[in-house]
Amino acid sequence: MSGDPGSDAVLVVAVARRDQGALAELYSRHGGSLFCAALRVLSVRPLAEEAVQDVFIRLWQNPERFEPARGSLRSFLLAQCHSRAVDLIRSESARRRREDDEANAHRASYVLEDEVLDFVAGQKLREAVATLSEKEQQAICLAYFGGHSYVDVASLLGLPEGTVKSRIRSGLIRLRSAVVEAGLDPRVANAAAV
Protein backbone atom coordinates (compact mmCIF):
# COMPACT_ATOMS: atom_id res chain seq x y z
CA MET A 1 0.00 0.00 0.00
CA SER A 2 2.98 2.29 -0.49
CA GLY A 3 1.34 4.02 -3.45
CA ASP A 4 2.70 5.14 -6.77
CA PRO A 5 5.68 7.51 -6.40
CA GLY A 6 4.17 9.75 -9.09
CA SER A 7 0.86 9.92 -7.28
CA ASP A 8 2.71 10.61 -3.99
CA ALA A 9 4.29 13.66 -5.63
CA VAL A 10 0.86 14.81 -6.82
CA LEU A 11 -0.52 14.37 -3.30
CA VAL A 12 2.36 16.43 -1.85
CA VAL A 13 1.47 19.24 -4.26
CA ALA A 14 -2.13 18.96 -3.04
CA VAL A 15 -0.88 19.13 0.58
CA ALA A 16 0.94 22.34 -0.35
CA ARG A 17 -2.49 23.70 -1.36
CA ARG A 18 -3.78 22.68 2.10
CA ASP A 19 -5.76 19.67 0.92
CA GLN A 20 -6.40 17.67 4.10
CA GLY A 21 -7.69 14.73 2.10
CA ALA A 22 -4.31 14.49 0.35
CA LEU A 23 -2.54 14.43 3.71
CA ALA A 24 -4.94 11.75 4.95
CA GLU A 25 -4.20 9.65 1.86
CA LEU A 26 -0.43 10.01 2.40
CA TYR A 27 -0.90 9.02 6.03
CA SER A 28 -2.93 5.99 4.94
CA ARG A 29 -0.18 4.97 2.51
CA HIS A 30 2.89 5.56 4.68
CA GLY A 31 1.80 5.89 8.31
CA GLY A 32 2.08 2.17 9.09
CA SER A 33 5.61 1.77 7.79
CA LEU A 34 6.70 4.97 9.54
CA PHE A 35 5.21 3.71 12.79
CA CYS A 36 7.06 0.37 12.49
CA ALA A 37 10.33 2.18 11.81
CA ALA A 38 9.82 4.55 14.75
CA LEU A 39 8.86 1.69 17.05
CA ARG A 40 12.07 -0.20 16.16
CA VAL A 41 14.11 2.84 17.23
CA LEU A 42 12.06 3.92 20.26
CA SER A 43 10.57 0.64 21.56
CA VAL A 44 7.76 2.66 23.16
CA ARG A 45 4.43 2.89 21.36
CA PRO A 46 3.39 6.42 22.47
CA LEU A 47 6.77 7.86 21.46
CA ALA A 48 6.62 6.08 18.10
CA GLU A 49 3.14 7.53 17.53
CA GLU A 50 4.49 10.98 18.42
CA ALA A 51 7.34 10.61 15.93
CA VAL A 52 4.95 9.68 13.10
CA GLN A 53 2.59 12.51 13.98
CA ASP A 54 5.48 14.99 13.99
CA VAL A 55 6.61 13.82 10.53
CA PHE A 56 3.17 14.41 9.05
CA ILE A 57 2.83 17.77 10.80
CA ARG A 58 6.16 18.81 9.28
CA LEU A 59 4.99 17.63 5.88
CA TRP A 60 1.80 19.67 6.29
CA GLN A 61 3.73 22.77 7.39
CA ASN A 62 6.60 22.50 4.88
CA PRO A 63 5.64 20.27 1.94
CA GLU A 64 8.25 22.03 -0.21
CA ARG A 65 10.99 20.24 1.73
CA PHE A 66 10.20 17.09 -0.24
CA GLU A 67 12.11 17.12 -3.51
CA PRO A 68 10.93 14.33 -5.86
CA ALA A 69 14.20 14.55 -7.82
CA ARG A 70 16.13 13.36 -4.74
CA GLY A 71 14.10 10.21 -4.12
CA SER A 72 10.72 8.76 -3.23
CA LEU A 73 8.36 10.29 -0.70
CA ARG A 74 8.50 7.05 1.28
CA SER A 75 12.30 7.34 1.64
CA PHE A 76 11.99 11.01 2.56
CA LEU A 77 9.36 10.30 5.21
CA LEU A 78 11.31 7.34 6.63
CA ALA A 79 14.44 9.49 6.95
CA GLN A 80 12.40 12.23 8.65
CA CYS A 81 10.84 9.66 10.99
CA HIS A 82 14.19 8.12 11.91
CA SER A 83 15.61 11.57 12.65
CA ARG A 84 12.61 12.47 14.80
CA ALA A 85 12.82 9.16 16.68
CA VAL A 86 16.49 9.77 17.48
CA ASP A 87 15.61 13.29 18.66
CA LEU A 88 12.94 11.83 20.95
CA ILE A 89 15.43 9.34 22.41
CA ARG A 90 17.87 12.15 23.14
CA SER A 91 15.11 14.28 24.59
CA GLU A 92 13.91 11.44 26.85
CA SER A 93 17.47 10.70 27.97
CA ALA A 94 18.07 14.34 28.79
CA ARG A 95 14.75 14.53 30.67
CA ARG A 96 15.61 11.43 32.71
CA ARG A 97 19.07 12.83 33.46
CA ARG A 98 17.53 16.12 34.64
CA GLU A 99 15.02 14.26 36.80
CA ASP A 100 17.79 12.10 38.27
CA ASP A 101 19.95 15.16 38.92
CA GLU A 102 17.02 16.95 40.59
CA ALA A 103 16.21 13.88 42.70
CA ASN A 104 19.87 13.52 43.72
CA ALA A 105 20.08 17.22 44.60
CA HIS A 106 16.86 16.91 46.58
CA ARG A 107 18.21 13.86 48.45
CA ALA A 108 21.53 15.64 49.04
CA SER A 109 19.76 18.65 50.52
CA TYR A 110 17.84 16.36 52.88
CA VAL A 111 21.06 14.56 53.86
CA LEU A 112 22.78 17.89 54.49
CA GLU A 113 19.78 19.16 56.44
CA ASP A 114 19.74 15.98 58.55
CA GLU A 115 23.46 16.27 59.18
CA VAL A 116 23.10 19.90 60.25
CA LEU A 117 20.17 19.04 62.53
CA ASP A 118 22.11 16.12 64.00
CA PHE A 119 25.12 18.39 64.57
CA VAL A 120 23.00 21.08 66.22
CA ALA A 121 21.10 18.54 68.32
CA GLY A 122 24.35 16.84 69.28
CA GLN A 123 25.93 20.16 70.20
CA LYS A 124 22.93 21.16 72.31
CA LEU A 125 22.92 17.73 73.94
CA ARG A 126 26.62 18.09 74.81
CA GLU A 127 25.87 21.50 76.29
CA ALA A 128 23.00 20.01 78.29
CA VAL A 129 25.24 17.19 79.56
CA ALA A 130 27.80 19.83 80.57
CA THR A 131 25.23 21.32 83.00
CA LEU A 132 25.29 18.11 85.07
CA SER A 133 27.65 17.57 87.97
CA GLU A 134 30.84 15.71 87.15
CA LYS A 135 29.63 12.65 89.10
CA GLU A 136 26.31 12.58 87.21
CA GLN A 137 28.08 13.04 83.88
CA GLN A 138 30.46 10.22 84.62
CA ALA A 139 27.71 7.76 85.59
CA ILE A 140 25.42 8.69 82.67
CA CYS A 141 28.22 8.63 80.10
CA LEU A 142 29.35 5.18 81.21
CA ALA A 143 25.79 3.81 81.29
CA TYR A 144 24.21 5.41 78.21
CA PHE A 145 27.06 6.37 75.93
CA GLY A 146 29.43 3.60 77.04
CA GLY A 147 26.80 0.87 77.03
CA HIS A 148 27.53 -0.36 80.56
CA SER A 149 24.99 -1.74 83.01
CA TYR A 150 24.40 -0.23 86.48
CA VAL A 151 26.45 -3.04 87.97
CA ASP A 152 29.33 -2.38 85.54
CA VAL A 153 29.23 1.37 86.23
CA ALA A 154 29.26 0.74 89.99
CA SER A 155 32.21 -1.59 89.58
CA LEU A 156 34.10 0.84 87.30
CA LEU A 157 33.56 3.75 89.67
CA GLY A 158 34.07 1.71 92.82
CA LEU A 159 30.70 2.85 94.20
CA PRO A 160 27.65 1.06 95.57
CA GLU A 161 25.05 0.17 92.94
CA GLY A 162 22.36 2.27 94.69
CA THR A 163 24.56 5.38 94.56
CA VAL A 164 25.15 4.90 90.82
CA LYS A 165 21.41 4.42 90.18
CA SER A 166 20.65 7.55 92.18
CA ARG A 167 23.22 9.64 90.29
CA ILE A 168 21.97 8.40 86.94
CA ARG A 169 18.32 9.01 87.87
CA SER A 170 18.90 12.54 89.17
CA GLY A 171 21.23 13.32 86.26
CA LEU A 172 18.65 12.14 83.70
CA ILE A 173 15.94 14.27 85.29
CA ARG A 174 18.19 17.33 85.11
CA LEU A 175 19.35 16.40 81.62
CA ARG A 176 15.75 16.15 80.38
CA SER A 177 15.02 19.61 81.75
CA ALA A 178 18.17 21.03 80.15
CA VAL A 179 17.33 19.41 76.80
CA VAL A 180 13.80 20.81 76.82
CA GLU A 181 15.14 24.20 77.87
CA ALA A 182 17.62 24.09 74.96
CA GLY A 183 14.66 23.69 72.59
CA LEU A 184 15.22 20.06 71.73
CA ASP A 185 12.57 17.38 71.74
CA PRO A 186 13.87 14.74 74.18
CA ARG A 187 13.25 12.09 71.51
CA VAL A 188 15.54 14.00 69.08
CA ALA A 189 18.16 14.25 71.79
CA ASN A 190 17.99 10.48 72.28
CA ALA A 191 18.54 9.95 68.55
CA ALA A 192 21.42 12.47 68.45
CA ALA A 193 23.07 10.76 71.39
CA VAL A 194 23.19 7.40 69.65
Question: Could you give the count of Cα atoms lying within 13 Å of 37 in the half-sphere of its Cβ?
Answer: 21
CA 65 – CA 62 distance, rounded (Å) = 6
pLDDT at 122: 75
Question: pTM higher than 0.75 for the full model?
Answer: no
Residues 5 and 8: their CA atoms lie apart, in Å, by 5
pLDDT of residue 108: 65
Residue 47: CA atoms inside 13 Å, Cβ hemisphere, count? 19
In angstroms, rounded to a whole number, what is the distance separating the alpha carbons of residues 1 and 103?
A: 48
The amino acid present at 90, given as its one-letter code, is R
What is the pLDDT tens value at each position of the chain, 194 positions in all?
455 667 999 999 999 999 999 999 999 999 999 999 999 999 999 999 999 999 999 999 999 999 999 999 999 999 999 999 999 999 888 888 888 888 877 776 666 666 666 667 777 777 888 888 999 888 988 888 788 998 999 999 999 999 999 999 998 888 888 878 877 765 644 444 44
Give the pLDDT score at 96. 86
**In angstroms, rounded to a whole number, what is the distance separating the alpha carbons of residues 95 and 72?**
35
CA 172 to chain centre: 43
Q: How far apart are CA 171 and CA 131, in angstroms?
A: 10
Domains of the chain: 5-97 (1.10.1740.10), 131-193 (1.10.10.10)
Distance CA 58, CA 84 (A): 11
pLDDT of res. 194: 40
Closest CA to 88 of 128, 26, 129, 45: 45
DSSP conformation letters of 28-49: HHHHHHHHHHHHHHH--HHHHH
